[in-house]
Structure 1
Amino acid sequence: MTVPYTDNGADDRRSLHERIAADLRDEIMSGDLAPESKLPSTNQLKERFEASNATIQKALQLLKEEGLVIGRAGAAVTVREHRQRTMRPASYMAPAPPGEPYRWLTEATKHGAAAHSTLLKVSEVRPPADVSAALNLAADETALLRQQILAIDDEPVELVDSYYPLGIARGTAITAKRKIKGGTPALLSELGYPPRLSVDRVSARVPTQEQFQALRLPSDLPVLRTLRVVHSDGDLPIEVTVMVKAGHLYEMQYEFTPE
């Protein structure tokens, strides 16, 4: 069924140009508008969406700010190279081999990208309620937070907050404000807490102020928030990580074997 693109529709309260941008964004992300292909002309878009030239230009400007298309007024607008990255958590959850970088960095490099991480803070904090519950902490208990930003080709792609029980973190390199060679999975294994099971909870949310600024988001598009709980032997929670990435640029891929 075709939904009319009127400004007085009761079902969709977004402005008309936001609704038009949403439909074009979906076609770009699904591949219906392929990378390096030209978008329909302004006249074609005006006819399709029953909108004015100014409204179409405002919709295209949103997509330009998001980095999905390139072009200028009066010229053809082109879809950028495939911007949506597929994240495969299973490929970088295991500890890195001795002497090797954190798996996230090596996996990103495999796809021809220059990846790096920046450690933002290491501090003892009171975690969010869902993190506290996952770590089996009391409401007023604190945990050790390591926050970092992950970037690909100098574009911030993921804000990562990792929390550790103080009983595990104290007196170890986890508390130091420096990068851990091989990442914390390798260090936890060395400390006698090998990761045995990881459980992800993925949700879409409106970005917080911190997330909006850290990821340099162009608008209030949703972010993908992954709450990952890592268990060691005896189902002991040893790490809870909150990972946030731009929802319009990333998708998650999980693989399952039927039992």
Structure 2
Amino acid sequence: MPREFKDPRSAHQKIAAEIRRQITRGDLTPGSKLGSTAELMERYDGVANTTIQKALQMLKAEGLLEGRPGKGVFVRPHAQQSIEPVAYMSPAGPGEPYPWMTEAAKQGRAGRSELLAVSVVRPPQEVVDALELADGERAVLRKQILFLDDEPTELTRSYYPLGLAEGTRILEKKRIRGGTPALLASLGFPPREFVDELASEIPTEEEVAALELPKDMPVLVAFRVVYSDDRRPIEVTLMTKAAHRYRMRYRLPVG
């Protein structure tokens, strides 16, 4: 017999989850109008008006719905965007902007980055292991936020072996034209392989503030290791996105 398990969430959280899934899966497209409060109350087993309002408020806070006075509640445009990591992997050519800006422009959107900090740190153990650092060896941390149309999209924390970064612009608190992949390639360390591990996690306070997340919203975290020639690890980046805004798309050849 299957195990018995009941959803412990409140009624408004369950309703919000149902509507959210309809939005993210395309059953409710951008610009679609939701039913009236009375219609939603009937659809969800006669729940109270306040329950429906709490559910809708959750989805408005997440940026998935918007209310239009006198007209109703509608699904916001660009409710969820697909991100294809391979589009951002190749280093920019000489004089070219960071691929994030280039790809945003292809979508008719404005991309920009904000460099938050550059520091020499003792990295987390998983970064130590991935970069194959010796005990006590330090790394350079570059932390930035990526924006699309002034909406915070991704918090990135990139680590580089200190021995590799010393004497380079990686240590400068300045944006690097074309991004660090282009700089590393110019230094003789071209990226040859990317290995990503994806996880859904509960956000830290820093992530909530940086990405302007609503309450109780998980994040999608990609842990990426970049290898150069001879499979030398040259970079580890933790890329954190709001799970309700974005999905990752991968194209994998078969055979």
Q: Is TM > 0.5 for Structure 1 vs Structure 2?
A: yes
Residue pairs, 1:187-206, within 5 angstroms: 187-206=183-202
Structure-2 residue corresponding to 1:4: none
Partners of 2:203 and 2:178 lie apart in 1 by: 29
- Give 1:94's aligned residue: 90
What is the match of residue 123 of structure 2?
A: 127
Aligned residue type for 2:61: E
The residue that corresponds to 1:41 in the other structure is 36
Question: Helix, strand or coil: the match of 2:234?
Answer: strand
User: Once the two structures are superposed, what CA deviation does each residue of 1:101-158 show, in whole Å capped at 9, x if it has no partner?
Assistant: 1111110111111111010000011112211111112453221000000011111110
- SS in structure 2 of the partner of residue 77 of structure 1: strand
Contact 2:61 2:214 in 1 (8 A): yes
Offset of residue 80 of structure 1: 1.1
Q: Does 1:22 align with 2:17?
A: yes
Hey, what does 2:161 align to over in structure 1? Answer: 165
CA displacement 1:206-239 (0-9 Å, x = unmatched): 1100000000111221111001100001110000
Match of 1:221 among 214, 217, 222: 217
Kindly state the Cα deviation for residue 49 of structure 1 after the two structures are TM-superposed. Answer: 1.6
**8 Å Cα contact 1:41-1:76 kept in structure 2:** yes
TM-score (structure 2 length as normaliser): 0.95
What is the one-letter code of the residue matched to 1:223? Answer: V
Q: Which residue identity does 2:43 align to in structure 1?
A: R
SS of the aligned residue for 1:161 comes to strand
Match of 1:11 among 6, 9, 28: 6
Paired residues, what number? Answer: 251
Q: Identity of aligned pairs, percent? A: 56
5+ residue gaps, structure 1? 1-8
Give the secondary structure class of the aligned counterpart of 2:30. Answer: coil
Map of 1:77 onto structure 2: 73
Contact 2:68 2:74 in 1 (8 A): no
Q: Tell me, in whole angstroms, the C-alpha distance in 1 between the residues paired with 2:174 and 2:167.
A: 14
190-199 vs 38-47, which moves further: 38-47
Q: Which amino acid aligns with 1:215?
A: L
Amino acid of the structure 2 residue aligned with 1:126: R
Q: Classify the secondary structure of the residue corresponding to 2:72.
A: coil
Matches within 5 A, 1:207-218: 207-218=203-214
- 3-state SS of paired residue (2:142): strand
The Cα shift of 1:39 comes to 0.8
With the length of structure 1 as denominator, give the TM-score of the two structures.
0.93
Residue 72 of structure 1: CA displacement?
5.6
- Runs (4 or more) in structure 1 with deviation over 6 Å come to none
User: RMSD across aligned C-alpha pairs, in angstroms?
Assistant: 1.5
Partner AA of 2:73 in structure 1: V
CA contact (8 A) 2:23 2:79 kept: no
Alignment of 1:165-184 (within 5 A): 165-184=161-180
Q: For 2:254 and 2:174, how far apart are their aligned partners in 1?
A: 41
Say whether the 8 Å CA contact 1:129–1:139 is kept in structure 2: no
Confirm or deny that 1:103 pairs with 2:99: yes
* Alpha-carbon distance in 1 for matches of 2:68, 2:12: 17
Partner Cα separation in structure 1 for residue 187 and residue 6 of structure 2: 55
Instruction: Deviation per CA, 1:72-125: give whole Å up to 9, x if none.
Output: 687521111132111111011010010001111110111111111010000011
Structure 2 Cα separation of the partners of residues 56 and 68 of structure 1: 15
